[in-house]
């Protein structure tokens, strides 16, 4: 039986190999593809596509069928990071320990790279092998809902406009900006496995709690992390005047909230036969240092 780390590394390697194969065409506009690949291949935990593959296998499906969906999700996530770092947004110079896309390729090319990655994500789903037309349609709907005007983008608006003033509104922001794509990762894995609507809802519930725990832990790391290990400037949220969970409830309570949300995530998949990896994934994200 695989250990958690071996299984995680297997999923992550499959995702990395698939990502490496993208956007290699030699075109007059090759600098666009270079910018796309610069951010797409910058590393990271690949939590979202890993979750897609993990849920598919946990529910009896084949990970290879879920792979195009996980890769599409990672393209959308990368586009969101490129745009999030722009001067008109968070104006960050570093991402994953190296200069952000707009610092290397300029603001205009960074915007276009993000735009292209979002569009390419849906192309990947539309041609995903081994899935029925209905599954592809469900996957498109799932990802579009997660990253659209009521999902991730809505969360970014709440963030940029400073509309989160208390714990309830901050939770809503996080569930949209961070949780929506994580929930999509779980849901996409269920679609690839042909899971029932009830199981899909349980998976999404798991991911929503993971997403909230993830963001609260991120707020904590923005205060306590080692910058070299964290891969981006520590304290940037406070400098930008953003309200975080640390501001609202303090570090100690944040730790308690991470533990509580992790427990709820574990409970959401308690009835799954092959839940071991998902339980360990929840625990590993709660304790992460970067």
Q: pLDDT of 151-165, one tens digit each?
A: 999 999 999 898 888
* DSSP character string of 181-245: HHHHHHHHHHHHHT--HHHHHHHHHHHHHHHHHHHHHHHHHHHHS-HHHHSS-TTHHHHTT---H
The pLDDT value recorded for residue 1 is 76
Taking 3-state DSSP, the helix, strand and coil percentages for the chain, each rounded to the nearest 5, stand at: 70, 0, 25
Confidence of residue 150 (pLDDT cuts 50, 70, 90): very high
pLDDT tens track for 90-107: 999 999 889 999 999 999
Higher pLDDT pick, 231 / 5: 5
The pLDDT value recorded for residue 288 is 87
The mean predicted confidence, pLDDT, of the chain is 93
Q: Which residue is it, tokens 């735009």?
A: 115
Q: How far is 4 from 279, CA to CA, in rounded Å?
A: 10
pLDDT at residue 213 is higher than 60: yes
Q: Which domain holds residue 188?
A: 4-286
pLDDT tens track for 197-210: 999 999 999 999 99
CATH number at residue 189: 1.10.600.10
Judged by average pLDDT, the poorest of 78-92, 114-128, 216-230 is: 216-230
Query: How many domains does the chain divide into?
Result: 1
The pLDDT value recorded for residue 290 is 75
The pLDDT value recorded for residue 81 is 97
pLDDT at residue 174 is higher than 80: yes
Distance of CA 248 to the CA centre of its chain: 24
pTM, rounded to two decimals: 0.92
Q: How far is 200 from 274, CA to CA, in rounded Å?
A: 15
pLDDT tens track for 99-145: 999 999 999 999 999 999 999 999 999 999 999 999 999 999 999 99
pLDDT at residue 226 is higher than 90: no
The pLDDT value recorded for residue 12 is 98
Report the pLDDT averaged over residues 245-256.
92
């Amino acid at each position: 039986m695989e250990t958690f780390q071996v299984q995680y590394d297997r999923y992550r390697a499959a995702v990395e190999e698939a990502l490496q194969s993208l956007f290699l065409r030699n075109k007059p506009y090759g600098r666009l593809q270079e910018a796309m690949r610069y951010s797409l291949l910058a590393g990271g935990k690949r939590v979202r596509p890993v979750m897609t593959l993990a849920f598919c296998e946990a529910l009896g499906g084949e990970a290879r069928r879920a792979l195009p969906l996980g890769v599409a999700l990672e393209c959308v996530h990368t586009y969101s990071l490129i745009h999030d770092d722009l001067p008109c947004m968070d104006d960050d110079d570093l991402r994953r320990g190296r200069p952000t896309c707009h610092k290397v390729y300029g603001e205009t090319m960074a915007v276009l790279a993000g735009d292209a990655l979002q569009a390419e994500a849906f192309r990947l789903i539309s041609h995903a092998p081994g899935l029925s037309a209905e599954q592809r349609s469900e996957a498109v709907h799932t990802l579009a809902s997660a990253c659209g005007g009521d999902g991730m983008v809505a969360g970014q608006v709440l963030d940029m406009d400073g509309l989160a003033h208390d714990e309830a509104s901050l939770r809503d922001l996080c569930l949209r900006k961070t949780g929506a794509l994580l929930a999509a990762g779980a849901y996409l894995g269920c679609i690839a496995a042909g899971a029932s609507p009830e199981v899909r809802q349980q998976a999404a519930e798991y991911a929503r709690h993971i997403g909230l725990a993830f963001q609260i832990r991120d707020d904590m790391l923005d205060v306590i992390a080692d910058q070299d290990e964290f891969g981006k400037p520590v304290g940037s949220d406070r400098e930008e005047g953003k309200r975080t969970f640390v501001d609202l409830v303090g570090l100690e309570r944040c730790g308690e909230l991470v533990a509580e949300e992790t427990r709820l995530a574990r409970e959401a998949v308690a009835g799954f036969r092959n839940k071991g990896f998902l339980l360990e994934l929840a625990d590993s994200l709660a304790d992460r240092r970067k």
